[in-house]
Amino acid sequence: MYKRDDAVSPVIGVILMVAITVILAAVIAAFVFGMAGGVDKTRVVSVVGERLSPEEIKITNYGGQDAIQLLEDENAFNVTINGAPAVLSREEENVLKKTVGSIGYYEATEAIGQDDVIVTGNFLDGKSSVIYSSKL
């Protein structure tokens, strides 16, 4: 007799909407998880700076779980004061090193409370991370 196909269009519409939603969710998830893969691991190394006088800043290495991954000796840290490489103010053996408890004494360049001190750690995997950043 009569063929009834009144409900076919709404059912196909719902199926298409569900399929589009699933595909869209998969594309967004692939984009988000693909971007998160390039994030580096956080390094745990403690370095503390203090101003000893208007002319001198002291930086001490207190170590941390990732301190063993630092490069050896004078290559372990880069110290900058106001964007320029820091200048030692005392004997050469007073360089901030990988060794826990090592201390570096550096020349301050500005008035008290104005020097921007940044200490960057250099690691065995070839990467570097900012370990300390402060105004002293």
pLDDT in tens, 34-91: 765 666 678 888 899 998 888 888 999 888 888 888 888 778 888 888 888 888 888 7
46-135 CATH: 2.60.40
Q: Which tokens belong to 106?
A: 């550096």
19 or 2, higher pLDDT: 19
Q: How far is CA 78 from CA 43, 46, 121, in A?
A: 16, 14, 7
Q: Where do runs of H (alpha helix) occur along 43-128?
A: none
The confidence score (pLDDT) of residue 136 equals: 83
Full-model pTM: 0.67
Asked whether 111 and 105 are in contact (CB, 8 A), the reply is no
The model's pLDDT over 91-114, given as tens digits with 9 standing for 90+, comes to 766 778 888 888 888 888 877 668
- The two structure tokens encoding residue 100: 């826990």
Phi-psi region of 69 (alpha: psi -120 to 50; beta: other; left: phi over 0): alpha
Residue 9 pLDDT exceeds 80: no
